[in-house]
Structure 1
Amino acid sequence: MRDDEQTSFHDPERLKALAHPMRRRMLTHLGVHGAATSTTLAELLGAKTGTTSYHLRQLEKHGFIEEIPERSTGRERWWRRARFPRDLRSPTPDQLAPDDRAVLEEFQRIGLEEDRALLDRFPAAYRADPGWAKGSRGLARMTKAELDEFYEAYIALLLRYSHPQDEAPPDARPLYIRLFTLPADENQG
C-alpha cells in the first residue's frame, strides 16, 4: 500500500482500536519520536508496562504499529509506527451499522480533545517560534461540491509537502496540522 493512498476506517474494530486515549497517545509518540518499548511508553505516559503492552498488541493487531525484530531482544520488544496511508479518513455515520456509530463518535470525541489541547498550546508555541507555529482562520462561502474540491486539494497539498518519518530531510520537524469545517449558519445553541 502506498503512503499517499486514501483509506477509510470502515472496519469498526479497527476504528475502535484508535478510539482509546492511551492508544492514541502511544501512536502519536511513536509517530513524533520514533521507536519505543513498552517500558519506555509506560514511563512516559504514567502507565504500567502490562497496560502499555496490551495496548501495543491491539495497535499491532490492527496494523498501526509493527515490531522492529532487529532491535528486539529477549523480552524487550521495540515498536514503530507501521507505514500506512497518510490520508486516513473516518467513515461517515451512514457508512457504519447503527450499532457501530457510537465508536465513531468516541473516536471523534477523543480527537477533538486532542485538538483542544493543541489549541491551548498554540499561543506559547507562536511566541516561542512563529516560524513553526502558523495559524489561519476564515469564513468562506462554498457549495458542497466546492467544499469537496477544496478538501481534496488541501489533502493533496498536505501529502505533497509531508514526508514519511524515514524519508524526511534532516531539518524536517513533525508538525500537528488540523483542518475542519462546519456550517457557520446553523444554530450554535
Structure 2
Amino acid sequence: MKDDAEPVILDDPGKLKALSHPLRRRILHRLRQHGPATSTTIGEALGVNTGTASYHLRQLEKYGFIEEIAERSTGRERWWRRAESPRDLRMPTPDMLAPEDRPVLAELLRQGHAEDMEMFGKLPAAYERNPEWARLSRGYGHMTEEDLAAFFEDYIRLLHQYCRRGEDAPPDARPVHIRLFTLPADED
C-alpha cells in the first residue's frame, strides 16, 4: 500500500449515517478484531438475531465498508470481511456538510468519543499488565495553526510508516489502539 496516498474525507452523508449506527460500529469492530464472519456468527457474538445482523451487514456493504467473500459463501451462508479502506480516512469539518447532515457527524463523533473513553478507562490496568505495549504521553505546548497542521501530517506519516494491516503483519505483531487528539488549552 502506498504511504503517500492522499487523505480521503468521509463527507458522504450516506456513509456517515452508515457508520453512526451503534450496531454497525460493533460489527465493524468485530470483523476487524476477529476476521471474516457470517450474519449468524456476528449475531451470536453481538447478541442480535441473524436477520438484524444480516440487514446491518448489507448496509455496511452498500457503502463499501465490508465485502462478501464470494469464494467462501455457499447457498444462504454469506461470509463477510472488512473492505480495503484508505489508510488516511478523515472526518469532514462541519462546514463541509449541508446543515441537515451535521447532526449525523456530531453523532458519529459522540459515539467515537464514548468508545475512546471506554478504551481510556482500560489504560491503567493495561499499563500495569503490559507497560511495553501500553505507551502513553501527555504534552502541552504553543503552536501556530500551521505548526499544528504540520505536526498532524507528520503523525499520519508515522502511522503509515509503522502500522501494518493484519494480513501484512509479522507473527509477533499485535493490534494496537492509537489515538491523537488536540484541543486548544485556552478554551478550558
Global fold match (TM > 0.5): yes
**Alignment partners' CA distance in 2, 1:161 and 1:179:** 15
What's 2:67 paired with? 66
- Name the SS for the 1:80 alignment partner: strand
Q: CA deviation at 1:165?
A: 2.1
What is the root-mean-square deviation in Å for CA atoms of aligned residues?
Answer: 1.4
The answer to whether the aligner puts 1:50 opposite 2:51 as a matched pair is yes
**In the alignment, is the contact (CA less than 8 A) between 1:41 and 1:52 conserved in 2?**
yes
Normalising to structure 2: TM-score of the pair? 0.95
- Name the SS for the 2:173 alignment partner: coil
Whichever residue aligns with residue 140 of structure 1, its letter is: G
Q: CA deviation at 1:29?
A: 1.4
- Name the SS for the 1:163 alignment partner: coil
What's 1:41 paired with? 42
**In the alignment, is the contact (CA less than 8 A) between 1:63 and 1:82 conserved in 2?**
yes
Whichever residue aligns with residue 184 of structure 2, its letter is: P
What's 1:160 paired with? 161
**Alignment partners' CA distance in 2, 1:114 and 1:52:** 21
**In the alignment, is the contact (CA less than 8 A) between 1:2 and 1:84 conserved in 2?**
no
> Within 5 A, what are the aligned runs for 1:23-172?
23-172=24-173
- Name the SS for the 2:114 alignment partner: helix
Identity of aligned residues (%): 61
What's 2:174 paired with? 173
- Name the SS for the 2:8 alignment partner: strand
**Alignment partners' CA distance in 2, 1:34 and 1:141:** 42
Normalising to structure 1: TM-score of the pair? 0.94
**Alignment partners' CA distance in 1, 2:108 and 2:51:** 23
Whichever residue aligns with residue 56 of structure 1, its letter is: L
**Alignment partners' CA distance in 2, 1:2 and 1:106:** 31
Give the ranges of 4+ consecutive aligned residues of structure 1 lying more than 2 Å apart after TM superposition. 1-5
Whichever residue aligns with residue 94 of structure 1, its letter is: D
Whichever residue aligns with residue 124 of structure 1, its letter is: A
Counterparts in 2 of 1:27 and 1:2: CA distance versus 1, 3 Å = farther
**In the alignment, is the contact (CA less than 8 A) between 1:2 and 1:85 conserved in 2?**
no
Per-residue displacement from partner, 1:54-99 (whole Å, max 9, x unpaired)?
1110110000100111111111111111001021101000100111
